[in-house]
Amino acid sequence: MSDARPESIVIIGSGPAAWTAAIYAARANLNPLVFEGEPVGTELPGGQLMLTTDIENFPGFPEAISGPDLMDRMRAQAVHHGARVVSELVKQVDLSAKPFGIVPNYSAPVTAHTVIIATGAAARWIGLDNELRLATTGGGVSACAVCDGAMPFYRNKALAVVGGGDTAMEEAMYLTKFASEVVVIHRRDSFRASKVMANRVLEHPKVRVIWNAQVSDVLGDDFITGLQLTDTATGAVSTIDVGGLFVAIGHTPNTKFLQGQLDTTEHGYIKVSSWRTETNVPGVFAAGDVIDDYYRQAITSAGTGCMAALEAERWLAHHGIGESPVLETAEAPVPVTPDATSP
């Protein structure tokens, strides 16, 4: 690893949890080092909010704020208080010995007394070119109805939900508050959701279900206008007009780089203690969507980021580690300057 003095705290991630943790750690004079990641496909530094146009449910913004703007403000606040930012992904960590080892994509490895994992979870997309394009340009394709469904853009339109699990049922029910019609598209002839959730959807007067169908294309240039469907039983192709598409086929926690060194749930989310962010490895904490398969909201992520930073600070104090590290070698990562912007 690096010959530099170990960092007090390294934060891996760049969504609401990571930046909130960085703000708290910086204000505690811990001089945190943040690896914010780099663009890979639809995954951008800033997390899933980078694909959200207007956010109307984050406290403090009565006129709404775009996802990228909110992330830029959080990042700027963290840097203002002293957080150092490296615009690289972390490809490997070593949590087997202290101080912990962190290996970024390009820079020299660093060591740290504590680590906060806030790498989030990536939405699973259908994988269609126009789907991904419209998702990244605010064209009416989303992976979170609770985040986006109440926006004026989606109101009084026919909206489609793809999926058959409990999440898809929740998304569909939420959208009935705003849509003229909710069309649930499922590739099988029955939902895998719980019976209670499925019945609520099936019995709702605003919901229509298209069984045995998969979305084979998303139609529209600047904004979605419809979907091309392929019947999974017959192969027949049809189209429907919709004003929005919500993909609810699950999320994948971004934990591959951990290589199984932390305990996770059966779905890959990092396990933490109840009402705490500590993991099974002392000195390692986790926050945000990487631990949350239930709420998945910016505000809850930010809350756990605060918790993780406070717990890391107290862990360091308990072990008599309070001095902010000073990198002593040229091989250490070069932090981004405060006036730099995310990719």
Residue owning tokens 């109805």:
145
Integer angstrom CA distances of residue 93 from 2, 154, 172, 246, 284: 13, 42, 39, 35, 11
* CA-based R_g, the chain, Å: 21
Active-site residue among 54, 144, 289, 292?
144
Active-site residue among 54, 94, 129, 148?
148
* Residue 32 near residue 337 (C-beta atoms within 8 A): no
Residue owning tokens 């906060």:
116
Alpha helices in the chain (DSSP H): 16-27, 67-80, 129-137, 145-148, 166-175, 195-203, 298-318
Active-site residue among 147, 217, 292, 339?
147
Across the chain, where does the E strand assignment appear?
7-12, 33-35, 54-55, 65-66, 84-86, 90-94, 100-104, 110-117, 121-123, 141-142, 158-162, 181-185, 207-210, 213-219, 226-231, 237-241, 244-247, 251-253, 284-286
Alpha-carbon distance 122 to 332, whole Å?
Answer: 29
Whether 222 is catalytic is: no
Whether 189 is catalytic is: no
Alpha-carbon distance 270 to 291, whole Å?
Answer: 5
Whether 144 is catalytic is: yes
* Residue 53 near residue 125 (C-beta atoms within 8 A): no
Neighbours of 223 (CB within 10 A): 14
Amino acid identity, position 211 = W
Catalytic residues: 144, 147-148
